[in-house]
Amino acid sequence: MVTDKIAKLINEQITKEQYAAQYYLSMSAWFSSKDLDGIANYFRVQSKEELMHADKMFDYLNDVGGEIVIGEIPKPPHEFESAIDIFEKALEHEKIVTKSIFNIVKNANDESDFATTSFLQWFINEQVEEEASASQYVTKIKMVSDNPSALYLFDQELAQRVFDPAAEN
Ligand SMILES: [Fe+2]
């Protein structure tokens, strides 16, 4: 049902989602090393969500008879300048992912591949939410990063986030 071109783009997107998972895991590790376990938890959950996104694409490609080719996941950065730096990079990364998904939608549109455009609608909505929350957290971390007690509360807030596989369906 999908052309080789669309299958290739989705295969690449699977790797990108897995890379995002690794990237967020690396960010999580940075916060853990600073004893900011709540923020570390936030990125850990974020990482798990990315793996679900990859799974979702894997299943779709399977359903439409596309050939699945698992790619190589690049090593994510390990060094970060600051908490602000990480939140800014997370936002930047979400924007890259959005562009990449838009590109698949554009190609699917060109081919009148309505199944793929319909499937990707969920991801488009997801990216709107991801960018909005990433942008909000950039603002928040800038407000609190120089104030230990505010940072403590922010860390407590992010400790509340739990991974909900049902939300990824
Ligand atoms: Fe994702």
Token code pair at residue 156? 């407590």
Q: Tell whether pTM > 0.85.
A: yes
- Give the distance (Å) from ligand 1 centre to CA of residue 74: 16
Rounded to an integer, the average pLDDT of 29-52 is 97
Q: Which residue carries 């998972």 as its tokens?
A: 21
What confidence tier does 149 reach under pLDDT thresholds 50, 70, 90?
A: very high
- Tell how far CA 27 is from the center of its chain: 12
> Tens of pLDDT along 54-110?
999 999 999 999 999 999 999 999 999 999 999 999 999 999 999 999 999 999 999
- Give the distance (Å) from ligand 1 centre to CA of residue 135: 16
What per-residue confidence (pLDDT) applies to 165?
83
- Give the distance (Å) from ligand 1 centre to CA of residue 50: 4
What confidence tier does 35 reach under pLDDT thresholds 50, 70, 90?
A: very high
What per-residue confidence (pLDDT) applies to 75?
97
- Give the distance (Å) from ligand 1 centre to CA of residue 146: 30
- Give me the helix-helix angle, 114-144 and 37-63, nearest 10°: 170
**169 or 56: which leads in pLDDT:** 56
- Give the distance (Å) from ligand 1 centre to CA of residue 21: 8
**Cβ atoms of residues 15 and 48 within 8 Å:** no
Q: Distance between CA 23 and CA 114 in Å, rounded?
A: 32
Question: pLDDT averaged over the chain?
Answer: 96
Rounded to an integer, the average pLDDT of 14-37 is 98
Q: What are phi and psi of 72, to 5 degrees?
A: -90, 135
> Tens of pLDDT along 115-129?
999 999 999 999 999
- Give the distance (Å) from ligand 1 centre to CA of residue 60: 15
What per-residue confidence (pLDDT) applies to 62?
97
What per-residue confidence (pLDDT) applies to 6?
98
- Give the distance (Å) from ligand 1 centre to CA of residue 49: 7
Rounded to an integer, the average pLDDT of 109-113 is 97
- Give the distance (Å) from ligand 1 centre to CA of residue 143: 27
- Give the distance (Å) from ligand 1 centre to CA of residue 167: 13
Compute the C-alpha angle 63/72/99, nearest 5°.
70
H helices present in 64-164, as ranges: 83-110, 114-144, 148-159
User: Percentage of residues in the chain with pLDDT exceeding 90?
Assistant: 94
CA atoms within 13 A on the CB side of 33: 11
Q: What are the structural domains of the chain?
A: 4-69+79-163 (1.20.1260.10)
- Give the distance (Å) from ligand 1 centre to CA of residue 107: 19
